[in-house]
A and B are shown apart, each in its own frame.
Chain A
Amino acid sequence: MIAFEHVTKRYKSNIGLDDVSVKINKGEFVFLVGPSGAGKSTFIRLILKEIDADKGMIKVMGRDVTKFSNRQVPRLRRDVGIVFQDFRLLPKKTVFENVAFAMEIIHKSQRMIRRQVPQILSLVGIGTKAHKYPNELSAGEQQRVAIARAIVNNPMILIADEPTGNLDPETAWEIMQLLEQINMRGTTILMVTHAKDIVDKMNKRVIAIEKGRIVRDDVGTYGFEEALANMEVTMNTLQHRREFNERRRGNL
């Protein structure tokens, strides 16, 4: 599904990724972990072709995205669903419209939209909230909307960038179960996270990145030292919270 071959990406002052080679197969559920600035975001942004690699080849669903032109990028993103920590819902659209929007982009008919959106909403467990606006929902419900939007067009790959970062442990676990359910339907899932307990509990493949290199790739636990990891989590959560709140304020 996703293959990196000797991928290097350098920023002006620091390294994003350094000669990374890795393969993620169809139907896998993979955690991508590591300290802040280790290269996790770079990894994801390369898959989405938000940024270009300096060296190496990146294959997504068998196609080399490093050779994609800008015109091909939208098509790539339709095949890769994405969920963010801060949900990124359109505040002025209802839940239904937020999901329908992803279908309108690929010119699905209104009839299809009216049929599929309620289905997908009840699949993620918010079938009754279709006509609410995002700010009327709880954080967990908003993340469900975001997931619905990401999978409504049946992408082969779902990327989740710290999807539980803004959620309390219980809600986070519910979201994880939803993701696992989606994974069982055949969607490949790549999830970036700092949540040690979740990674440990799920017992899936874990790719650990540090300073732009893959330091570990096996099935099992989060692996980073607890103290460091916890501090990392706290710092990250604080920072993300702040960003999230700022964005939200700017948005209202």
Chain B
Amino acid sequence: MFRRFFYNIKQAFQQVFRNGAMTMASVFAITAMLLILGLFFIIVININTAAETVERDYDTIEVFLLDTTTEQDANQMIESLQGENGVEEVSYRSRDMALEELKARWGESGYLLDSLTENPLPNSIIIKIKSLEAADDIAAAAKALDGIEDVKYYKQTVDKLMGATRFVQLAAVILMLFLIIVSVVVVSNTIKLTVFNRAREISIMKYVGATNWFIRGPFLTEGIIIGLFSAAISVGISALIYKKVVGLIGEDVFAILSMPMVPVEFLVYNLIWIFAALGISIGACGSIISMRKFLDA
């Protein structure tokens, strides 16, 4: 068993080096594919994070109260709302608190609010919900209460955003699958050239009594080595590029969307596993597919 294992590895490395040009061609092909895949992955993972952030930020329902509603009434409302399904937390926000928050949000322009002689904001109840799906029911329950001016929540906006995100995700997944298939074809063709070069060698092996798996072993290992090698290169290049991109636009993204881009370390950690798995499977599938014809004979 071990003997066989080492035989494979030894043969595969010999092949990798003795067929340097072919190895390079395969590595380039897989690396290119992995880089494109990596690009999609980076986009998708950033969109996902953005979507999660948005979902977290907009998971509140604001219930504005009439000025005639007392704090006691509000407390009763809070208690009844807490009983609703999907509610995480209910809190009271007085008009003064609301004004403070608004000032904070406006930042440097906050002084403009100082000129107000009277606070125009209503008292409100803030409902934090567990998931957006429950938003409609909770909002309806809130509306049914007495002493309410308005109920505001962002479900529609968020739904639209989520819809768009899901579309992008789906498109990316389809494109990725397509690219994986393309890269398997490319690699199997590249390896087929190596195999073709050695068709004679394979026929000799068969004459001497080698089993199909014995012949396939080194080629398979070769494919895996090529795949792993490409994966390593791709991880390196993607990491470098992403680091540059984050350095260039990371702050702008934060300023516009008020959320950070996915950190480089996290991305690299994920890419290592994904690329390694993809590289290995692309290399292995490629070599098995390319050998099929030669082993049947």
Contacts and interface: CB of A to CB of B under 8 A. Distances in A.
Contacts of B206: 74, 77
A12 interface: no
B61 to A, nearest CB: 68
B112 interface: no
B204 A74 contact: no
Interface residues of B, number: 17
B214 A90 contact: no
Contacts of B200: 88, 247, 250-251
Contact of B210 (A74, A109, A149): A74
B209 interface: yes
A207 to B, nearest CB: 22
Contact of A74 (B4, B18, B201, B211): B211
Nearest to A82: B207
B207 A105 contact: no
Given A88-B200, A92-B18, A107 B4 contact: yes
A104 B7 contact: yes
A246 to B, nearest CB: 12
B210 A105 contact: yes
B64 to A, nearest CB: 78
Interface string A79-90: 000100000111
Nearest to A79: B209
A75 B209 contact: yes
Given A88-B200, A105-B214, A247-B200, A78 B3 contact: no
B241 interface: no
Interface in B195-217: 200-201, 203-212, 214
B5 to A, nearest CB: 11
Contacts of B210: 74, 105
Interface residues of A, number: 24
Contact of B201 (A71, A90, A105): A90
A102 interface: yes
Interface string A86-106: 001110100000000110111
B209 A74 contact: yes
Contacts of A106: 209
Contacts of B201: 90, 92
Per DSSP, are chain B's interface residues mostly helix, strand or loop, or mixed? Answer: helix
Given A90-B201, A251-B200, A109 B207 contact: no
Nearest to B204: A88
Interface in B1-49: 3-4, 7, 18
Contacts of A90: 201, 204
A105 B204 contact: no
A2 to B, nearest CB: 17
Given A90-B201, A251-B200, A102 B3 contact: no
B183 to A, nearest CB: 28
Given A88-B204, A247-B200, A251-B200, A109 B209 contact: no
Nearest to B3: A107
B208 A149 contact: yes
B208 A101 contact: yes
A77 B18 contact: no
A110 B200 CA distance: 25
A77 B210 CA distance: 8
A89 B210 CA distance: 15
Interface string A47-83: 0100000000000000000000001001111100010
20 contacts: A74-B210, A74-B214, A75-B209, A77-B206, A77-B209, A88-B200, A88-B203, A88-B207, A89-B204, A90-B201, A90-B204, A92-B18, A102-B209, A104-B7, A105-B205, A105-B209, A106-B209, A107-B3, A149-B208, A247-B200
Interface of B: 3-4, 7, 18, 200-201, 203-212, 214
